[in-house]
Structure 1
Amino acid sequence: MLSLLAATAAVSEAIQWAELGLRPYLFEIGGFQLRYYSLAYLFGILLGYWHLSRMIKSPGSPMAQRHADDLFFYCTLGVILGGRLGYAAFYKPDLLTSIELFKLWGGGMSFHGGVIGVLVAITWVARRGNLNWLRVCDYIAVNVPLAYMLGRIANFINGELYGRPVESDVAWAMVFPGGGDVARHPSQLYQAGLEGLMLGVVLIALFWLTRARYRPGLLVGLFTVGMGVGRFVNEFFREPDAHLAYVVAETGLSRGQWLSLPMIAVGLAVMIYAFTRKPIGTTKAPAAQTA
């Protein structure tokens, strides 16, 4: 009885998402809605393209502007197709044999699938342009976290992908319309801050303020580790998808956490590789021979 009263008090003191005045779309004309989630994808990709175009003007760039233009197109396809197919493969396999797979507006995108899609796009552009694949990955990786941050903020605005019920006093706990009369963690904002803003600032600072870009694999390795660790930690606060709750019950970890473990391992391996190789541009010219 006391626990029930305590839970009721916690809910009454929690922030009510419905009272924040948020809605999932910017405006509506007829049956068309310009949704914030779509805008997040659009602005995230455009922001990444703009910053990549500035990055390649700095010394030591592994590509030209025409390659950045190709990457803009193919990575966009990779994010959309990889994200949707990854969601179906990792989280909802029945979509693979359903027309619902093509209804992107209904939601359901996988970060891990998007990463695979982008890697395929980078491989395609790098092979066509005879570019250093690992260094192109470094340049793309720097631009992903801030775009990811916009997507998670859009999830919060939509009131979706909310967190698990709070187990103690949390001043910023929220009651989401789809989550019942329960105070929950706003895990979308946790992910936006940790995997998005924080990781993005670190990578951008390393690129512009250090010589990290001259160690092939260092930036993309750090990105992979950072995303993997961030996702693993944040999954403890995020509510698992209803149809995948059994994974947590059976293994103690969510599907997202299991997918993050190989990311961390691969990222660490790439960083080790980067630190065990000489930075590019450091090879000394042979000494002049004397007569």
Structure 2
Amino acid sequence: MLSLSLAAAAAQAPIHFEDLGLRSYLFAFETPLGLFQLRWYSLAYLAGIIGAYVVVLKMIKAPGAPLAQRHADDLFFYCTLGVILGGRLGYATFYTGGDTGLPSLWAHPSELVKLWTGGMSFHGGLVGVLVAIAWVCWKNGLSFLRVADYVAVPVPLGMLFGRLANFVNGELWGRVAGPDVPWAIVFPGAGPLPRHPSQLYEALLEGLLLLVVMLVLFWKTKARWRPGLLVGTFAFGIALGRFVVEFFREPDAQLQTFAQQTGLSMGQWLTLPLMAVGLFFVVRALMRPALGAAPAVPVATDPA
């Protein structure tokens, strides 16, 4: 009986993050300027951008591509800037200043460039990417909506890598989990209670699942012939995934009061307009004829 009780207690013991043997960097070494660490989060950004570039190069070889490789090269460069600058400025806008308890980064411009201190906003990065796409399309006379369709397909790959890096870093943990969540984890700095690994939830929903949906739509359907359908599906899908996961994610410390007062987290409020925009483009694309579709020919009738 005693052995059974001990086995049951062991089975119910929460997982401790330290026992997973993870660390936030791949390797580290001393330099004359101090310790250098190649962090997984930096590698995640790099892998996501390069992976998206490779996928887009493969996509533009299929019939009907709205851009050439030289345009993809430009997008690779400008979208990288858009992700970094937009993500940082978005964090400064929505997650610092006001009632957040954190000094506004806008009031301290020198702090904005310190990317290594953390703080990136997905919605800000999304705006930065849209600006980059608009610039490349305007400069080269391309269709913004069709190019956005192609760029949207591999973006979940970056989300997948980014959230996995968040988990490896032991950051952005979830809310306290009940005893019915055997995979709950005790994260360092989050107190003694086990929490939802919400980073993995986001990696699965906003990353892997959405990536599969986007690739299937592109390669197995005629979605790329309906301008706006792919980018609309991406916007709605990632917003819905984020909205759901936010129920399991611990709100940012400086925004917990905001979440309690409004009933939703800042992340959830920001997903609502994105969800509406995505649904609009999906409906619009489905209601319009596909590219290359032959116009309806009126049937001639014999005069009475």
How many residue pairs get aligned? The number is 279
Matched residue, 2:5? none
Matched residue, 2:153? 142
Matched residue, 1:4? none
8 Å Cα contact 1:142/1:223 also seen in 2 = yes
**Partner SS for 1:169:** coil
Matched residue, 2:3? none
Q: Tell me: CA distance 1:272–1:285, structure 2 relative to 1, closer, same or farther (3 Å).
A: closer
The match for 1:179 among 184, 187, 190 is 190
Say whether 1:81 aligns with 2:85: yes
Say whether 1:158 aligns with 2:176: no
Q: Which moved more, 1:86-95 or 1:65-74?
A: 86-95
Say whether 1:71 aligns with 2:75: yes
Matched residue, 2:29? 29
8 Å Cα contact 2:235/2:274 also seen in 1 = yes
Matched residue, 1:61? 65
Please list every run of 5 or more consecutive structure 2 residues that lacks an aligned counterpart in the other structure: 1-8, 98-103, 299-304
Shift of 1:286: 8.1
8 Å Cα contact 2:12/2:182 also seen in 1 = no
Shift of 1:283: 3.0
Report the Cα distance in structure 2 between the residues aligned to 1:223 and 1:12, rounded to whole angstroms: 38
Report the Cα distance in structure 1 between the residues aligned to 2:247 and 2:76, rounded to whole angstroms: 34
Report the Cα distance in structure 2 between the residues aligned to 1:223 and 1:247, rounded to whole angstroms: 28
The match for 1:238 among 219, 234, 249 is 249
TM-score (norm 2): 0.89
Q: Tell me: CA distance 1:241–1:10, structure 2 relative to 1, closer, same or farther (3 Å).
A: farther
Say whether 1:92 aligns with 2:96: yes
Please list every run of 5 or more consecutive structure 1 residues that lacks an aligned counterpart in the other structure: 1-8
TM-score (norm 1): 0.93
Greater C-alpha radius of gyration: 2
Report the Cα distance in structure 2 between the residues aligned to 1:136 and 1:175, rounded to whole angstroms: 43
Say whether 1:192 aligns with 2:167: no
CA RMSD across the alignment: 1.6
More helix as a share of residues: 1
Shift of 1:178: 1.5
Matched residue, 2:212? 201
Shift of 1:167: 3.0
8 Å Cα contact 2:44/2:165 also seen in 1 = yes
Q: Which moved more, 1:186-195 or 1:93-102?
A: 93-102
Query: How high is the sequence identity, in percent, across the aligned residues?
Result: 61
8 Å Cα contact 1:175/1:183 also seen in 2 = yes
